[in-house]
Chains A and B, each alone.
Chain A
Amino acid sequence: MNFEFTTEQIAAAKSFADAVRDRIACDAERQDADPGASDQITRAHLKTLGELGWHGLTHDPAIGGAGMTHLEWTLYSEALGGLAPTSFLSATSAAGATVRPIAKFGTAAQIDKFVRPALRGESIGAFAVTEADSGSDPLAVKLSATRDGDGWVLDGEKVWATNGPICDFALVLAATKPEGGPNGLSLFVVPADAPGFERGARVATMGYRGALVGPIRLNRCRVGADALVGPENAGFGMAMHAMQFGRLSACCGAIGLGETAMALSLGHALTRRAAGTKIIKHQEVAFKLSQMKMLTDTGRLLTQYAAWCMDTGSAEASAMVSAAKIHTTEAATKIANFAMQIFAGVGYTAGHPIERLYRDAKLGELLFGTTEVHRVMLAQDTIARFGDLG
């Protein structure tokens, strides 16, 4: 048992956070206020993150990564998620969820062509799993891939693909065996310049407004045999592997947002005066800050534990990631709400950081499986694990 990172680990993560503050976080407000400008900004941020080595942190050094554990990686992700939410979201897909199955299960050629440039921040991937009628239930995927000579023809539409509007390639989950359930899905890596690949327009969203999320249409898009990632009909498990990473990212993003909201709230409470005293002297304010701290701290522990379970290949990993995601993302919306109460009218003003964080926070409970889906999954694991012990 050891509850501490090393001094070196903490120092390295801090210098990363400082760089993010200087080079990325400074644009966060503009990305939100002027989503149209976000294309270029986000592209530049992803390049910067490549230079900072962020994309490759958990990847194998053999392919340009740093070989870091997920546990240590949470330090970096919290920082980026809290300081630059929009670019964090983009980055978790660009070279995160999107390239992980390729890095782990892909061929050397696929790794050279897609993974290495993505880790450098020079190429942007889109994670294309969700469909209009297939959100939390990936088994309902309709986009089809049918054999055509020695290649494949992909046909259908994905929605909510992060980085869809600016992607250079996409990781696409497609149905290769009708009625095959989880064993009828395959993963394909498709370059954006493939014939029939159509990037949809950015969808306007409540929060993460600069986020480049949109549909991807594949209109009888023909790809070679080399587009298949891993074995045929093994796509579901690989997509889940990517999803797990996405879920852990969501935890870190939520903690980071909470930290930011809490720091701003504390600063405000220590300066703003009401009824003749600093508002932190009012228990209604002080106790909200205490709740924020408690929620953040417990969420961080759960997330670190989940990351450690992933690193050690624990059978509990999926359940613990669900537990952390439920807790941290619900905590983030609670914290944002407390922050809004503390800032009151000031925080409600358009363009105020609290107003933005409040809108941003909500996404955590929705992406990579809604809170509801995770509760059901966690409960099923709990029933299986504890059923014989009662």
Chain B
Amino acid sequence: MDFILSAEQLAFRDTVERFCRERIAPFAEEADRNAEFSYEAWRRMGEFGLLGMHYPEEYGGQGADVLTSIVGGEAMGLGGADAGLLLAWGAHTYLCGDTILKHGSEEQKTKYLPKIASGEWIGCWALTEPGAGSDAASITTTAVRRDGGWVLNGAKMFITNGPICKVCVVNAVTDKSAGHGGISAFIVEAGTKGFSSGKPLHKMGVRSSQTSELIFEDCWIPEENLLGMEGMGFLMALQTLEWDRSALLAPYIGSAELGLRRCVKYSLDRRQFGKPIADFQAVQHKLADMRIFINAFRLLVYRIAWNKDQGRPLNHMEASISKLYGGDMGFQIASEAVQIHGGYGYIHEYPVERSLRDAKLGQIGGGTSEIQQMIISRLLTQEAR
């Protein structure tokens, strides 16, 4: 056992951090305020090779292992890339792209992955519906065979990148009687007749990511757009969700550390009662807790990555613990960061205000904290038997 990052990984981390600080972070504040997706930031990320780090090189990726990709994700957060952009990155690279990488045919991989890795085509992944959130198996969008293809009908909700996507991986029921085994996944391209997106939703945080409803009205797609095997959609979705509980968490580590750096700086600069507020133990207490959080969360996420690199299936216990701890504690820490900044922390001009709004999603997206606790207690029960 050891906790050593290789020299290459450390160098990569520094390079990505610098790139994001100089070339991506300047977009953050305005993108959040206007709730606008920064296409220019996106283009730069693609050009730099951040949109498909772990894809094999023949599909336009960097061929990085999972741990290195996660170190890269962390560095993006540390470099100040905003959480909305990073959410778009996660949904695009992992939820959409990785599902195609893992389950797609050679034709599908060749067609979609290089354009996803470059950022030219933006991807999204659609599981959640207006009436099916945590209970994902209860989706009602249907896909019925017709004319050598499939016809999709139904609606998806809270789809990150929905309004701006070119490639959508959508989960639909193909055999209602088969329960979990009756769900299949399909690739639908923007512009397909009968496929449309709702207006971007106005969100509390991660505002620069574009989220909307997706609507399928007699949307016909050819047979070749079936992703993986018929009836395997739910299992594939569970595998995809694994990323929600691992790699997608990585940027939050970096964002949290950036937040800590800002809090330290502010508390050294800000003087009250004749001394820097960093001299007050009440402030120190918060800084100490932030440090603990960042270290523990980093270890949790690195452990998942390392296990994935050993070729093992995701350890659901470890993943749920990471998601639960990162979500709940991450929100608490973000709130304390605002508290340290006082009135200044409450206004838009200070990034800690944005971080608090962003952090709330950590307790909701990719399985709420309550769902993670359900999973953990079920696994504990299984282990005890």
Q: Does A194 reach chain B (CB closer than 8 Å)?
A: no
In the complex formed, the residue of B with least CB distance to A374 is: B288
Residue interface bits A63-76, CB-to-B below 8 A is 1, else 0: 00000000110000
Contact pick for A5, options B1, B264, B287, B374, CB 8 Å: B1
Asked if A376 is at the interface (CB within 8 A of a chain B CB), the reply is: yes
Q: A1-B306, A319-B291 are in contact. Are A301 and B296 (CB under 8 A)?
A: yes
> Which A residues are in CB contact (< 8 Å) with B291?
319, 323, 378-379, 381-382
Residues of A within 8 A of B370 (CB): 283, 287
Give min CB distance, A326 to chain B, whole Å: 6
A257 to B303, CA, bound (A): 24
Residues of A within 8 A of B373 (CB): 283, 286-287, 290-291
Nearest B residue to A270, CB-CB: B384
Is the Cβ of B292 less than 8 Å from the Cβ of A390? no
| Interface stretch of the complex, out of A119-127, A235-243, A302-310, A357-365 | A302-310
Decide: A3 and B306 in contact? CB cutoff 8 A. yes
Asked if B261 lies at the interface with its beta carbon under 8 angstroms from chain A, I say: yes
Partner among B3, B268, B281, B288 whose Cβ is within 8 Å of the Cβ of A1: B3
Write out, one digit per residue, whether chain B residues 262-285 have a CB within 8 A of any chain A CB (1) or not (0).
Answer: 111111100000000010010111
Interface residues in A346-390 (C-beta closer than 8 Å to B):
372, 374-376, 378-383, 386-387, 389-390
With a CB–CB cut-off of 8 A, which chain A residues contact B201? none
Within 8 A of A (CB), among B288-306: 288-292, 295-296, 299-300, 302-303, 306
Known: A379-B285, A380-B284. A304 touches B324 (CB 8 A): no
Cβ of A266 within 8 Å of any chain B Cβ, yes or no, is: yes
Chain A interface residue number, banded: 35 or more
* Interface pair B372/A290, CB less than 8 Å apart: yes
Contacts of A308 in B (CB 8 A): 1-3
Question: Does B204 reach chain A (CB closer than 8 Å)?
Answer: no
Query: Interface segment, A106-114, A130-138, A162-170, A292-300?
Result: A292-300
Task: Determine if B260 and A386 form an interchain contact, defined as CB atoms under 8 angstroms apart.
Answer: yes
Task: Please tell me if the beta carbons of A286 and B284 are within 8 angstroms of each other in the complex.
Answer: no
Specify the chain A residue showing the minimal Cβ separation from B328. A294
Main secondary structure of the interface of A (DSSP, over half): helix
Cα A211 to Cα B325 with chains together (Å): 34
Interface membership of A267, Cβ < 8 A: yes
Complex: A175 Cα to B285 Cα, angstroms: 31
B144 within 8 A of A: no
Q: Are B264 and A267 in contact (CB under 8 A)?
A: no
Would you call A270 and B381 a contact (CB within 8 A)? Answer: yes
In the bound complex, CA of A193 to CA of B53 (Å): 68
Q: Which of B264, B307, B377 has the most CB of A within 10 A?
A: B377
Smallest Cβ-Cβ distance to B268: which chain A residue: A387
Closest to B285 in A: A375
The answer to whether B3 touches A305, judged by C-beta atoms less than 8 angstroms apart, is yes
Chain B residues with CB below 8 A from A266, complex form:
380-381, 384
In the complex, A381 Cα to B67 Cα: how many Å? 28
B84 to chain A, nearest CB (A): 22
User: Is B41 an interface position by the 8 A CB rule?
Assistant: no
A376 CB → nearest B CB, Å: 6
Q: Decide yes or no: A302 and B306 within 8 Å by CB, A1-B67, A3-B1 being known contacts.
A: no
Q: Does A2 contact B (CB under 8 A)?
A: yes
CB atoms of A382 and B288 under 8 A apart? yes
Contact status B296-A302, CB under 8 Å: yes
Q: How large is the interface on B (under 10, 10 to 19, 20 to 34, 35 or more residues)?
A: 35 or more
A residues 310-336 touching B (CB-CB < 8 Å)? 319-320, 322-323, 326-327
A-B contact count (CB 8 A): 143
B264–A386 touching, CB < 8 Å? yes
Most chain A CB within 10 A, of B263, B292, B325, B372, is at B292
B307 near A3 with CB under 8 A, answer yes
The residues of A that contact B285 with a CB separation of less than 8 Å are 375, 379
Q: Which of A319, A323, A326, A390 is the one whose CB lies under 8 Å from B264? A: A390
What residue of chain B has the Cβ atom nearest to residue A298's Cβ?
Answer: B296
B292 nearest in chain A by CB position = A323
Interfacial chain A residues near B380, Cβ < 8 Å = 266, 289-290, 293
Whole-angstrom distance between the alpha carbons of A383 and B268 in the complex?
A: 8
A327 closest partner in B (C-beta): B292
Q: Note all chain A residues with C-beta closer than 8 A to B318.
A: 297
Any A CB within 8 A of the CB of B4: yes
CA distance A68 to B300 in the complex (A): 25
A4 within 8 A of B: yes
List residues of chain A with CB within 8 A of the CB of B288: 322-323, 326, 374-376, 378-379, 382
Q: Are A294 and B384 in contact (CB under 8 A)?
A: no
Interface string of A1-35 (1 = CB under 8 A from B): 11111000000000000000000000000000000
Q: Tell me the bound Cα distance from A305 to B384 in angstroms.
A: 28
Say if the beta carbon of A280 comes within 8 Å of chain B.
yes
- Asked if B376 and A390 sit within 8 Å, CB to CB, the answer is no
Within 8 Å CB of A390, what residues of B?
A: 261-266
Shortest distance in angstroms between B262's beta carbon and chain A's nearest beta carbon?
A: 5
Considering only CB atoms, which chain B residue lies closest to A320 in the complex?
B295
The distance from the CB of A389 to the nearest CB of chain B, in whole angstroms, is 4
B113 at the interface (CB under 8 A from A): no
A1 touches B5 (CB 8 A): yes
The chain A residue with its CB closest to the CB of B4 is: A1
B321 within 8 A of A: yes
Contact yes or no, A290 B324, CB < 8 A: yes
Most chain-A CB neighbours within 10 Å: which of B266, B278, B287, B372? B287
A389 vs B260: C-alpha distance in the bound complex, in angstroms?
10
Q: What's the minimum C-beta distance from B261 to chain A, rounded to whole angstroms?
A: 4
Interface string of A165-206 (1 = CB under 8 A from B): 000000000000000000000000000000000000000000
Contact of A294 with B266 at beta-carbon distance under 8 Å, contacts A1-B5, A327-B292, A386-B261 already known: no
A267 touches B384 (CB 8 A): yes
**A294-B321, A294-B325 known; A304 and B266 CB under 8 Å?**
no
Expressed in whole angstroms, the Cα–Cα distance for A358 and B260 within the complex equals 34
**Given A1-B302, A308-B2, CB of A383 within 8 Å of CB of B264:** yes
A-B pairs with lowest CB-CB distance, top 8: A390-B265, A379-B284, A286-B377, A290-B376, A290-B373, A378-B288, A301-B299, A390-B261
A-B contact pairs, 27 of them (CB 8 A): A1-B3, A1-B4, A1-B302, A1-B306, A2-B1, A71-B1, A283-B370, A286-B373, A286-B374, A289-B377, A293-B317, A297-B300, A298-B296, A298-B325, A302-B295, A304-B1, A327-B296, A375-B289, A376-B288, A379-B281, A382-B287, A383-B264, A387-B264, A389-B261, A389-B264, A390-B263, A390-B264
Q: For the A-B complex with A289-B377, A326-B288 known, give 19 more contacts whose Cβ atoms are closer than 8 Å.
A: A2-B306, A267-B384, A283-B374, A290-B380, A294-B376, A297-B321, A298-B325, A301-B299, A301-B300, A308-B1, A322-B288, A323-B292, A323-B296, A383-B264, A387-B264, A387-B265, A389-B264, A390-B262, A390-B265
Identify the A interface with B (CB < 8 A): 1-5, 71-72, 266-267, 270, 280, 283, 286-287, 289-291, 293-294, 297-298, 301-302, 304-305, 308, 319-320, 322-323, 326-327, 372, 374-376, 378-383, 386-387, 389-390
